Chains A and B, each alone.
Chain A
Amino acid sequence: MFGRYLNFVRGVATNWWGRLGVILTTSSFVCMVVMELARLVGLITSSYAGLVSYMVFPALFILGLLLIPIGWRRLRKQTGKSSRELRESKFGKEFGVASFGGSRLFRTVAVLSVVNIVFLLIVSSRMFAFMDTAEFCGTACHSVMNPEWVTYQQSPHARVDCVQCHVGEGAEALVDSKLNGLWQIASVTFDLLERPIPTPVHQLRPARQTCEKCHWPDKFYGHRLKTITRYGHDSASIRLYTTLSLKVDAGTIQRRGGIHWHIAQENEVRYASVEDKREKIIWAEVLRPDGSYHRYTSTDDAAIGRDALSVRTMDCVDCHNRATHIYELPDRAIDDRIQKGVLDRSLPFLKREALHAVSAGYVSREAAMEGIANHIHGFYQRHYPDLARSRVMTLDSVITVLQGIYNRNIHPGMKIEWRTYPSHIGHVGEGGCFRCHNPRMVDENRSAISSDCALCHSMLSNGHDDPFQYLRPADTLSPDYQMHLYLQQEFMTSSKSNGP
């Protein structure tokens, strides 16, 4: 059997083309089998191995198979002999003798073809499975996708594969995504891509088919308590709480419910934005029970007279645009690390100096690493020389954490700086909710979309060392006395009114 195979192989390895084909096919087959076995028994664990065993070797294998007939064709042209003459000269006459089930040559080719097809089927299914893994998406185009890969791995969706949100189900989505992938390979190879990469808001699958698989609107009810912990710029980096009772209801009828009212089944909210970037809103409108739309138009200079390139119906990602690829703001990142206990705020002015260190503009990653270390060492050496000597380890760990914050969020190669990809959740500055909820979005009667704080959340504390500041009795001597009373009352009554 092996002899017959060798004979066959010798026959097809007619010239350099044929020989190369045979070598490529055979060696990549063997390597692939060996690597897969090694993976199965646990010898190979690197996710990069998948790139080689499911992508490089199959490609070489197919290339080899293609080279063999090319070699054969070239041989026929060179010698000017017919296929039969060549076949007889290469394989011997008895190979071509017709018998039951075809000649021996035919049977050999048929058997090998079946083996190839079965093998390729297995390999391609493994390949597609591998291409569906987050490792593939995150590491195949390493330099380009690295920022997204880094942020994804630290996000709440780190256990959800990229393709579950970015590629749809069914053959069409698969073909689409693979064609898209081809373009991406070309754009990476020939450096055609934009830096920073624009957020692919338009290619995203509808949230109804992705997000709502796990988070469906009926699930959003009642109030949800959110405590935001911040740290001050004083020497003790004082801890300050902002506690919000978020009114996350989806609502069942118009003008009832809370934040998720925007995407409730019964409601439809649409908007158009400047250059379709979903940042500056041109107009927003809500479907009324009679089927017409009530429109609010922006009176902002940046929006007046701008054409609506497309009309967008709100779903999850209009607010939760960074549910996964979360880029932190520098002060929030530092607050987060202090809260997690990895930055030690017993160091004087830790919050303030850490913020200076990470958010100074650095020309390169190397400069940033050095600059962060210099800033922290420099500050404590200058102002707290004793501490700089006695707490070297603590300062080193601060530097490591701050460098980590920088590396997680800033990617000079992809031109990603602080605030390159703004998050629309909540409101920082004029963004997020305030894109529409601002006094400049007015209807034909010039009444504006409400930007009342209590529309979306009650406030139980606002930058205070007591997380439930406004639930305590109000201090009659404080300038904020009336605000305190209002917020307390608002919370009490709003909780009541949301009951059945």
Chain B
Amino acid sequence: MKHITGVVLLMLTFALLAHADSNPTDAQVSGKCMTCHKEKSAGLYQQWFMSAHAMHKVTCIDCHGARQEDKDAFMHEGGLIATLVTPKDCGACHPKEQTEVENSYHAHAGEILESADAYLAHVAGGEPVAIMGCESCHGGKVEIDHNSPNRLSPKSWPNAGIGRLNPDGSKGSCNACHTRHSFSVAQARKPEACSKCHLGPDHPQKEVYEESKHGNAYYTHMDEMSIDSDRWIVGVDYFEAPTCATCHMSATIGTPVTHDVGRRISWTLRPPVSKFKDDWETKRADMKAVCNTCHSSTFADGHYYQLDALVKLYNEKFAKPATEIMRIVKERNLLESPASFGNKIEWVYWELWHHEGRRARHGAAMMGPDYTWWHGIYDVAQHFYFKLLPEARKINDPELNAYIDGLITDDPMHAWLSTPTGELKEKIRSGEIQEIYKALFE
């Protein structure tokens, strides 16, 4: 409570400072903006009018006012303004949030040009899809174009991607989550704020959440969760269900709110092979603190016990062998097309970890059983055995063949392929098969 009051006081102080700083003609400038935009952007104006910004007299010019040295500044009806409002601008009043965002994984989402995702979009897709697909979520580099009415290149703006590379050097875009111009806390706290991007075949967080009991409880009780209250502490102001924000960002009785979304995540569930993150123990403890608001600590510990085993299963049984196969293929130059993604096996491998493998891991992490198995490990297994291995066999390289043969015969996790069904069923009943996976739980 003390902490929240402190933040509010800090915000008010900054708001007052911003006002004290302004010159006497400000009411003339801001009043003029408001007059015209009330007519010409009536919806925008009303969103603002009902917002906390309006309550605190933060008007158009306070966010859109520019300085001469700003690269995107332009004159508009007698005022020097910029269309783009960057985290730096927001940080003038919200410095804590700015710092947290800057240090978050979100802020770096725009640096994807060197990634396989961006490569694929540019070669297999083409620039328009890179702009409207990838960069819409990840954020693009906003370029200056002096011929554009607002000095922003139309190829690079509109863009509200979360890791947008702004002309002022800042990274990110607050309105990726805090939709303009109402900047409603309720809207940012709801799962829909995240699901502009966190959904689909490659990372169906929204769908997993909807499948889970957490989502089920949220959609049942969404109107009873004080979601628009200033203070929003789980277990104090609401208790019915968690949203994405609850677990990943919002305050608990003992943990402050954070805008660093990765702060409570212990596994990297994104790459081909998952790893524990740096300082994962603290991060997991922070997440468990959220869980413990509604669950016993044994429950939370149990969840992580099961999750760790699942992630390791994916890693050991499929991800590492698949990655090894691709390493051999690349190292020995066994592919026909010289271009990455010019060969079928590369697409099979890609979907194995980037789509199916992530679905399994995210499904498990957020307790969505169907995504863990049918949309997850089931797809991984099928495509590993009946797409990836056959594609690799087709290459018919001695070293590659030797690796696959070894894997199938020597790795007890894959030995089932050459064992009769009856024998396997007996081993399941006796617990012999389960014994193979014992190490994953350690």
Contacts and interface: CB of A to CB of B under 8 A. Distances in A.
Interface of A: 299, 439-440, 442, 446-448, 450-454, 459, 462, 479-487, 489-490
B394 interface: no
B149 A486 contact: no
Interface of B: 26-28, 30-32, 34-36, 38-40, 48-49, 54-55, 57, 59, 75-78, 147, 149
Contact of B57 (A439, A453, A481): A481
Given A446-B147, A453-B36, A479-B49, A485 B54 contact: no
A440 B148 CA distance: 11
Contacts of A451: 36, 40, 77
12 contacts: A451-B36, A451-B77, A452-B77, A452-B78, A453-B39, A459-B35, A462-B38, A480-B34, A481-B57, A482-B26, A482-B57, A486-B30
A299 B39 CA distance: 22
A446 B145 CA distance: 12
B54 A487 contact: no
Interface hub of B35, B38, B48 (most chain A Cβ within 10 A): B35
A480 B35 CA distance: 9
Contact of A486 (B32, B54, B55): B32
A454 B55 contact: no
Contact of B30 (A439, A462, A482): A482
A98 B101 CA distance: 121
Given A450-B77, A451-B40, A481-B57, A299 B149 contact: yes
Contact of B31 (A442, A446, A452, A482): A482
Interface hub of A459, A483, A484, A485 (most chain B Cβ within 10 A): A483
Nearest to B51: A479
Contact of A446 (B26, B32, B34, B149): B149
Nearest to B31: A486
Given A451-B36, A452-B78, 4 more contacts: A442-B149, A448-B149, A479-B54, A482-B34
Contact of A453 (B30, B35, B149): B35
- The main secondary structure of chain B at its interface with chain A is helix
A482 B49 contact: no
A483 B149 contact: no
A454 B35 contact: yes
Contacts of A489: 27-28, 31
A112 B278 CA distance: 121
Nearest to A485: B27
B49 A439 contact: no
Given A462-B38, A479-B49, A483-B38, A454 B32 contact: yes
A436 to B, nearest CB: 15
A439 B75 CA distance: 12
Contacts of B38: 462, 483
Nearest to A448: B149
B32 A452 contact: yes
Nearest to B28: A486
A61 B201 CA distance: 88
A442 B148 CA distance: 11
Contact of B149 (A439, A481, A482): A439
A462 B42 CA distance: 13
A52 to B, nearest CB: 54
Contacts of B28: 485-486, 489
A77 B26 CA distance: 100
A442 B35 CA distance: 22
A485 B23 CA distance: 15
Contacts of A483: 30-31, 34-35, 38
A490 B34 CA distance: 13
A199 to B, nearest CB: 27
A363 to B, nearest CB: 32
B80 to A, nearest CB: 14
A482 B77 CA distance: 17
Given A446-B147, A446-B149, A485 B36 contact: no
A446 B147 CA distance: 7
Contacts of A439: 76, 149
A440 B149 CA distance: 8
Contacts of A447: 75
A64 to B, nearest CB: 66
A452 B36 contact: yes
Contacts of B36: 451-453
A455 to B, nearest CB: 9
A484 B149 contact: no
Contacts of B54: 479
Contacts of A452: 32, 36, 77-78
A486 B57 contact: no
Contacts of A486: 27-28, 30-32, 34-35
Contacts of A446: 147, 149
Contacts of A453: 35-36, 39
A479 B57 CA distance: 6
Nearest to B59: A482
Contact of A487 (B26, B35, B49, B149): B35
Contacts of A480: 34, 49
Contacts of B77: 450-452
A454 B38 CA distance: 13
